Structure 1
Amino acid sequence: MSEIKETYVDYLGYKTYCKIVTPDNPDPAKKPLLVLHGGPGDCHNYLLTYAKLADRANRQVVFYDQIGCGKSAIPHQEDDFYTYDLWADEFYTVREALGLDDIHLFGNSWGGMLGMYCMMKDDAGVNSFVINSSPVRIQTWLDEANRLLKYMPQDMQEALAEAERTGNYETPEAKEAADEYYKRHVVGFYEKDYPQFVTDSFAGVGECYMVMQGASEFVVTGKMKDWDIREGVKSIKVPCMALSGTDDEGTPYTIKEGVDLIPGCEWALIQGAPHIANATHPDECLAAVEGFICKFD
């Protein structure tokens, strides 16, 4: 069985929580995998299936809760505290503190966006990068989300449209519609059936989600509304693989936009998988990630 170590890294006067999963007999030829969660603000827990790579591949796997959520929660901050550079600088700070100077990188959703942003700034010591269902342009993501809504029952479409208009997503009708969308395209389960590690992650979401994203998956009212790194990703030199699902809210069209722009980017598309593909298709995700990163050890 792997050893799990929990520790904290000092950052901006706060503490960034880290979880380090080390196999009993680590293979010295296998570089650690550093995992970036989504949100911003969703916590690391929902990605814990990737900890199985420690036992399956004799590879160390490292998670952390980004500042502002989960076990890295902080007191209320003004909106201008939260920026892309806040989390990019934290990424480099965590790596330096934990000695992660020679790694593979994995990022889901916002985590992949953060990873791309960092790889455009300084890619030193990153040998490969798995970009799991992350857009290079937020408007493409939104256009596709609203296209997916059109396949839902008409009453659910109307309930979500009304929620967007009023800002009230707590009506029974809006909650039922959102639950249906999450079942189809995000988690793969209705809320009552969420695996515990997903429930734990959603329970720790911080205020940064509202600041950066907004009230829902269908409209971005926060700071990410202008996210567009289509030009920047053309400069990424780290070997990359996109990972996504056919039923993902990060639709194949959304992901292809990045695949076509990132030099040499590969793509693993998992049939039937939603956005949090590792919850519904763990073995396929583990095989895809290890199959890619092991080529760059």
Structure 2
Amino acid sequence: MNRRNFLATGAASLAVAATPVAHASSSRMSESETTTQQPDGLNPPGIRAAGIRMVPVADGKYKVWTKRMGSGPIKVLLLHGGPGASHEYLEAMESFLPQAGIEMYYYDQLGCNNSDHPEDTSLWTLPRYLQEVEEVRRGLGLENFVLYGHSWGGILAMEYALNYQQHLRGLVISNMTAGTQSYLKRTAALKLQLPPDTLTELNALEAKQDYDSPAYEKIMMEDLYPKMICRTHPWPEPVDRAFRHLNQQIYVQMQGKSEFLVTGNLKDWERWDRLHEIKVKALTIGARYDEMDPEDMKKMATLMPNATSVICQNGSHMCMWDDQAFYFEHLIKFLHSV
């Protein structure tokens, strides 16, 4: 799988991921389980399944994978990036949120990782994924909850808030600007930071649309992504795992063949003029080295009536990893305030 096509614009290992369960009390473990009392054809009734629940989506034609962790009055549904990625790179959440008394829900969007993988390409659209988020909310019985969206998941989170705001007690938009054009302006500026010879080579490759060539891959993975996607070295294992599980078909159809040129069906997406409609308490999170302009994240917070913004000065697109302490200090503070 080509690792560079991941985030369009959204527990450093399996051993760490197990830590919250190992340190939890038996009563907390019992509370955090998700069980089905009535037969639904998707989940065995009365059986504890490590918090995992399959939820019907697309009007019941398919099912998606969800997992509940922790227990508490503040419930957070996590929307991962891509389009076409998975919940896995968000596993950093496991080391912070449950211990803070926050109940968190992963889910893999349709076509991604543990969820169904239909062949129907008509499913890979923003309106259909928006419908899916509401179907997942209903399937999990969430009400008065916090919606968290990272990268492409931030697009979904904004769309959900504009259409189903009555169900939310809070909104977190992490590392996602409010329109494709502002995203492209930022990525164009980041390319100019390359050495002149490298930039000339990159421009030539893009002019030929040679996005799958080893030379293009080398520039992405050695010169750009280690600076703007994730600045840890090496990358955390959950990040590598999420790249391996990327659904390339969804990414190309919605984003395009390159991180720097949006040719998919998200190319005309803009919501700057509607942010004022989002009245719920909100937090935008940006990062100094992100492929999303941190100034855009600040601006978004000024356009929503009840929003604040924080900027990770040492982080990039995955600042939940490369500026971890600062990221979770402010995320948890916000979640406890809603």
TM-score strictly above 0.5: yes
1:5 offset after TM fit, Å? 1.7
In the alignment, which residue of structure 2 is the partner of 1:96?
A: 138
1:112 — aligned with what? 154
TM-score, normalized by length of structure 1? 0.92
| Distance (Å, rounded) in 2 between the aligned partners of 1:239 and 1:54 | 19
State yes or no: 1:10 paired with 2:56.
yes
Secondary structure of the equivalent of 2:65? strand
Larger CA Rg, structure 1 vs 2: 2
In the alignment, is the contact (CA less than 8 A) between 2:92 and 2:321 conserved in 1? yes
Q: Aligned pair count? A: 288
Give unmatched runs, 5+ long, in structure 2: 1-19, 22-28, 30-49
Identity %: 27
Query: Offset of 1:161 from its aligned partner?
Result: 1.5
Match of 2:107 in 1: 64
What's the CA shift for 1:146?
A: 0.6
TM-score, normalized by length of structure 2? 0.81
Question: Structure 2 vs 1, CA of residues 257 and 227 (structure 1 numbering), >3 Å: closer, same or farther?
Answer: farther
Cα separation, 2, equivalents of 1:146 and 1:73 = 35
Q: AA paired with 1:19?
A: K
Q: Kindly tell me: are residues 72 and 247 of structure 1, through their superposed partners in 2, closer, same or farther at Cα, counting changes over 3 Å?
A: same
Shift of 1:257: 3.7
2:235 maps to which of 169, 194, 207:
194
Deviation of 1:284 after TM superposition, in Å, equals 1.7
Matched, 1:295 2:325: no
Aligned residue identity for 2:183: W
2:193 is aligned with 1:145? no
Cα RMSD (Å) of the superposition? 1.6
Greater shift in the superposed pair: 161-170 or 264-273: 161-170
Q: Is the contact made by 2:97 and 2:332 (CA closer than 8 Å) also made in structure 1? A: no
Counterpart residue type for residue 283 of structure 1 = A
Match of 2:76 in 1: 33
1:225 aligns with 2:271: no
Q: Tell me by how many angstroms 1:73 deviates.
A: 4.2
Residue number among 60, 63, 68 corresponding to 1:20 in the alignment: 68
Structure 1 stretches (4+) deviating beyond 4 angstroms?
A: none
Which of 167, 172, 190 pairs up with 1:130? Answer: 172
Give the distance between the partners of 1:54 and 1:140, measured in 2 at CA.
31
- The offset of 1:104, in angstroms, is 1.2
Q: Structure 2 residue aligned with 1:76, among 95, 112, 119?
A: 119
Distance 2:230 2:97 in 1: 24
Q: Tell me the equivalent position of 2:10.
A: none
Tell me the residue number matched to 1:43: 86
CA offset at residue 260 of structure 1? Answer: 3.0
- Seen in structure 2, the aligned counterparts of structure 1 residues 226 and 51 have a Cα distance that, compared at 3 Å, is same
- Aligned 8 A contact 1:159 1:177 in 2: no
In structure 1, stretches of 5+ residues that fail to align are none
Q: How does 1:136-215 map to 2 (within 5 A)?
A: 136-179=178-221, 180-189=223-232, 193-206=234-247, 207-215=249-257
Would you say the 8 A contact 1:237–1:263 is kept in 2?
yes
Q: Residues 168-196 of structure 1, C-alpha deviation per residue, up to 9 Å, x if partnerless?
A: 22333211211121111112246xx2211
1:284 corresponds, among 326, 333, 336, to 326
Aligned-partner residue type, residue 164 of structure 1: E
